[in-house]
Structure 1
Amino acid sequence: MPEAPPPSRAEGAPLRTEEFDYDLPERLIAQAPARPRDSARLLVVRAEGLEDRGVLDLPALLDPGDLLVVNDTRVIPARLHGRRGDARVEIMLNRAEGGGLWQALVRNARRLRPGDEVAIEGAEGCVARVVEREGGTALLDFGPDQAALAVALEQAGEVPLPPYIHRKGGPRAEDAADYQTIFAKRPGAVAAPTASLHFTDRLLAALEARGVQRATVTLHVGAGTFLPVREDDPRRHHIHREWAEIGEDAAAAINAARAAGRRVVALGTTAMRVTETAAREDGTVAPFRGLTDLYILPGFRFRAVDALLTNFHLPKSTLLMLVSAFSGTRRMRAAYAHAIAREYRFFSYGDASLLFRCAQDLPA
């Protein structure tokens, strides 16, 4: 059983990162997805309580006319190994800046200086020039030939599995497919929008038969999604910017659903963040294309999204704070305690939860 939750924060007291901590037995960290994908478990979290279901029950849990907002980003093989002379570095591409420039997280970055060139192992002729470096991050220039870089990534890049998925010798062959969603179309993510990993052709057909509609957005998930909040006050944490887009068709579909009184259901926190980034004060959504660093903490006023399908998130993470803002901190604490007690599988390859918007907390 999980330990007792920390004491509740007094009304008006500062937000504390420790409120979003919990103990998780290592055996509950999923090392492979459910097979088939849609056989994963689903914890339904409503104001009136919790319900244990399965992902295949999702059509019955949604209403005809509900709009499912999905993210069509495609994970690239973003982890590279390189050399600058005798020094070895590991590069995790984070965000494309255009023209061959990439923001990257670099292990052993202290060996690098602006102007240095890093030869990418396993990709003959592929060289990254260091434009600037700050701490463990660097701006790298791979040159303007994007086709050549794409080939190099396929030759030398590794699937950027999160650090809690353990693989001796690197990712397995099946991870290339397992860590890609059924909606993946636009390359650019270095982490999967993991709620979408549960979806199959069978589930999509059942949702369509139920009358659930679908709109597609894009958010290229960055490596910062795995970074814990280290500040005692989470409001002082810096969230990395990510590239996102809502086209005219998606914005129109969201606005039509809201105007008709139908629910907007975000498939994953990435779809949630891009939708809320583009939301106006009145809840309508405008087309959007650019960078977002929307950081959702308890107290955030959601404008466009009514329900959220998402996996279980890391302790002290920005995503655990997001779901707490959506469904209430105490309610999510109770949901996670329930999931641990019932041995749900956690994190990227784990089980899912379906949350309905109810930001007010449970009574003390």
Structure 2
Amino acid sequence: MTSIVSEKPQKSRDIRFDILKAIGLLLIILAHTDPPQNIDLIRQFDVPMMVIASGTLFYYSSRNKNVDLWDYLRKRIPRLLAPVWLFLTFFFASAYITDFLTKKPYHFSSQELLFGFLLLDGINYVWIIRVFLLIAIVAPFLLKLYRFLGNETRFAAVILAIYIFHQVIAIPLLYNWEIPYNWTMWRSKFYMYLIPYSCLFGLGMTLIEMNKKLMSLILSGSAIGFLFYSALDYSKAGSNLFNFWYSHKNEYKFPPSIIFILYGILMSMILYLLVSWVWNNYREWLENHRGIKETIIFISSSSLWIYLWHIFFLEYWHRVEYKYPVMQNYLVIFISIAFLATATTYLQKVLVSKIIKTNQFGQNNSEMLAILFLK
């Protein structure tokens, strides 16, 4: 029987991308603990790297399958939405009970509740779920396109062409048109995220097949592009480029700008090469320490629930008035929140797996319980 940590046999699994996905998740949690300026700016590649790693893992699981669009969406969308809606129900209800018992006004407005369930930034955390939902819709198309082109170089070129069209032609057209409010919402919350992150997902699909020449081209191209746009920003900011970036970081990220995407690709590729070097040189050591390997795979494969639980613990961490200032240190918060979210997810999976195996209710509703708690 396979360990609950590793969840499935890993004979053909490339743990390098689990490492990248786990690092990306931990960096996202770090971002929410109010780290220093320099750390907060450096880690801005976290979401792009998670998307790239997810693209590779999707390709690993689907490259030898005939992925039907509707069948894929029928399975994938509930796996994303059902746990999120269940968690938000629990999260908002627990906040209401806590505020009621402590005789404080309810923390969340009706608009925050509605926008939270609609993944429209109601609580400032769920936008990333919207990104992965959008990616899920286009993932089968990207796979079909990759297979049709039959070559990672041609596929990368098409992805680049799509992104250039999006950046140079589509965005100016969309922002010049006078469109109703509901279409403005579609443009700003959906389309502007769909193309950039889908291109990153597609890039991730090519990584395991990518030759050194193409990898060098992407790495050098993203570096040159990032430096070029940094130079443009420097002309606006003068000598305070670092402060300029920090003060405009949300404008770069929401929606993702070209400099944000280039930085994400650059840092993700560098970290991919670094992780590959470590894996190639210390693979035997990692294979002999299965606990480390299984923990990495668990964090990667359980990233949704770890992310959701970190929202809960972070909310209540900030509600407490601490006697000791050390409890407000970002490293203390990060380590504590990451541990609590991971441990809670592990206990959740152990408990639900046990219910499914030993309880009649669990056996009768195993599929529903797996979608809600085990993905």
Query: TM-score band (shorter)?
Result: under 0.3
TM-score by length of 1: 0.24
Higher share in strand: 1
The TM-score, its normalising length taken from structure 2, stands at 0.23
**Larger RCO (CA within 8 A; separation ≥ 6):** 2
